[in-house]
Chain A
């Protein structure tokens, strides 16, 4: 069974640009979660989508947004990129309580 996949693996942008990150959940999982893992800060919860709806949001500005598609895959969009947005962005999917993580997208903002 394929795990959670994310693309791209690496992304380099400059300040002010927009970034789009993609996530495909494990087949049959309806919930997708996004986390930011910045150096020294640990994993911070960003967004939770379930059945196409945003269910919960972490303490991040509105320029972090996303959506979930009918096939349960998801996109995370970050607008007006700032240097401190440089981090590993992790996606996880679940059917119940256990979350399974993808390998992440490493975003570097120059």
Chain B
């Protein structure tokens, strides 16, 4: 059983479209992080959210942490081809520093 479920698993859209990807769990997380990973490289941290209901913006990317700290979403406005990649959410629980990862959403933005 995957602790963090990400959806959709695959997403292919045209440049300029908006999209939202989701990260859901039945468990509470003390923090949630979003990463983007490109082929052959390690994940790169985009944002960390720690407070329930928190919203963070990073240019065209908007991240939200659910009120109950069990879920998160990533919204991209006016997607660009450079946004193509694997988007991973990961969370920490309690005092553990171990990161639990979802399987990711593979996003392809077509020109």
**B residues in contact (CB < 8 Å) with A:** 2, 31, 33, 35, 40-45, 48, 88, 90, 92, 96-104
What are the residues of chain A within 8 A of B96 when measuring CB–CB?
56
Q: How many residues of A contact B (CB 8 A)?
A: 26
- Chain B: minimal CB distance from A45 (Å): 5
Q: Are A99 and B99 in contact (CB under 8 A)?
A: yes
Q: Identify which of B33, B35, B98 contacts A45 (C-beta below 8 A).
A: B98
What are the residues of chain B within 8 A of A44 when measuring CB–CB?
101
Q: Are A31 and B97 in contact (CB under 8 A)?
A: yes
- Chain B: minimal CB distance from A60 (Å): 13
What are the residues of chain B within 8 A of A101 when measuring CB–CB?
35, 42-45
Q: Identify which of A55, A98, A104 contacts B48 (C-beta below 8 A).
A: A98
What are the residues of chain A within 8 A of B98 when measuring CB–CB?
33, 45, 48, 56, 58
Would you call A26 an interface residue if the criterion is a C-beta within 8 Å of the partner chain's C-beta atoms? no
- Chain B: minimal CB distance from A20 (Å): 19
What are the residues of chain B within 8 A of A21 when measuring CB–CB?
none
What are the residues of chain B within 8 A of A104 when measuring CB–CB?
40-42
Q: Identify which of A41, A56, A90 contacts B42 (C-beta below 8 A).
A: A90
Would you call A94 an interface residue if the criterion is a C-beta within 8 Å of the partner chain's C-beta atoms? yes
A74-110 near B? 1/0 per residue, CB < 8 Å: 0000000000000000101010011111111010000
Q: Are A42 and B101 in contact (CB under 8 A)?
A: yes
Would you call A19 an interface residue if the criterion is a C-beta within 8 Å of the partner chain's C-beta atoms? no
- Chain B: minimal CB distance from A76 (Å): 14
